[in-house]
Structure 1
Amino acid sequence: MNIVLDTSFLPDGFRSAILRSLDKRYRITTEKKNGYKDSHKDNKYFLIVDYKEGSFDDFKAVLEDILKKNHMDQFVVAENTEENNTYSVLKKGDLEQFGLVICDHCGMVFGNYDEKVAHEKIHYFI
């Protein structure tokens, strides 16, 4: 399965750490995406990931594990709803600029505050 990983919002050092972890720890190959993207000036930050181990959601778990193991707690993985099979790695503060909010308990991303509150109530029942 080919997944697009948008790393355009990451500093170079963090981007390199994620790519190293994908390659060395998980043996996942990446290549730069060709073509034109309207929303960003440089395509070198859009990577095609050849993920063969599981589903689209499984790859999100891999990315979250990489962020945790590299002590990058200030970043989250968000699904791009405008592009198929695309994840973006964003700084938590950047999400609010896009109108997204994060569950304080599990890090799940929501489109608005009401969805987040409804979800967080479930944590209190469990």
Structure 2
Amino acid sequence: MILFILTERTSSVTDFHNFSNPSRHLKPIRLQPTFIIQENQQANKKTMRIQVDFSFFPNNLIPIITDSVELKQFLIEGNFITDDSVSDTNNSKTAIFEFHGSLKDFESLLRSILAKNSIEEYTITQDMERENTIAILRSGDLEQLKIFVCDFCSAVFHSEDEKYIHQRAHYFY
């Protein structure tokens, strides 16, 4: 954005009383451009390290997310982990992103990337066992991470019993 500032004043106040020839009292005004640098809105937000678990996501689809325009800037290069000892699952694949925003914002960004690329059979969920970790799972694989989702309101539970008790409450209310 460019803001122009007047750098010279016009004639004094007493000169304005004589209006017989107004152009005689006006001085040319030189405009000097001044640039205003706006603060980066993301600088005010906290940076959060978010791990994305690609263990249940096909290898050929991982670059769609890691190389996407929306997320590539947040990917920490060299922190893509492919190791059997990282998780209980075989062939664990985890990418680390340094995101300026909340975990919910990151989830919605991932959902929009999946939707934009017509990848509808996978869902995004938070890992209940690890903090700041998001897993991309096939819709039926949620139970593999011991994540149980209410069929009515999508509330998340740690066990099938908790889910069952919760769902019974939906019948009463």
Cα distance in 2, alignment partners of residues 38 and 75 from structure 1? 20
- Aligned equivalent of 2:110: 63
The change in CA–CA distance for 1:71 and 1:109 in structure 2 (over 3 A counts) is farther
Identity %: 27
| SS in structure 1 at match of 2:124 | strand
- The reply to whether residue 11 of structure 1 matches residue 74 of structure 2 is no
Deviation (angstroms), 1:42: 3.4
- Aligned equivalent of 1:25: 70
Q: Which residue identity is paired with 1:25?
A: E
Note the residue ranges of structure 1 that are not aligned, 5 or more in a row: none
Cα distance in 2, alignment partners of residues 65 and 9 from structure 1? 19
- The reply to whether residue 50 of structure 1 matches residue 95 of structure 2 is no
| TM-score in terms of structure 1 length | 0.72
Q: Which residue identity is paired with 2:70?
A: R
The change in CA–CA distance for 1:100 and 1:42 in structure 2 (over 3 A counts) is same
- Aligned equivalent of 2:120: 73
How many residue pairs get matched?
114
Note the residue ranges of structure 2 that are not aligned, 5 or more in a row: 1-47, 158-162
Deviation (angstroms), 1:8: 0.7
Maintained 8 Å contact 2:150/2:166: no
Deviation (angstroms), 1:110: 2.4
User: Which structure has the larger Rg?
Assistant: 2
> Where in structure 2 are the equivalents of 1:26-41 lying within 5 Å?
26=71, 27-30=73-76, 31-33=79-81, 36-41=85-90
Cα distance in 1, alignment partners of residues 59 and 118 from structure 2? 16
Deviation (angstroms), 1:34: 7.8
The change in CA–CA distance for 1:81 and 1:20 in structure 2 (over 3 A counts) is same
After TM superposition, the structure 1 stretch with the greater mean CA deviation from structure 2, 29-38 or 60-69, is: 29-38
Maintained 8 Å contact 2:149/2:156: yes
The change in CA–CA distance for 1:50 and 1:110 in structure 2 (over 3 A counts) is same
> How large is the Cα RMSD of the aligned pairs?
2.8
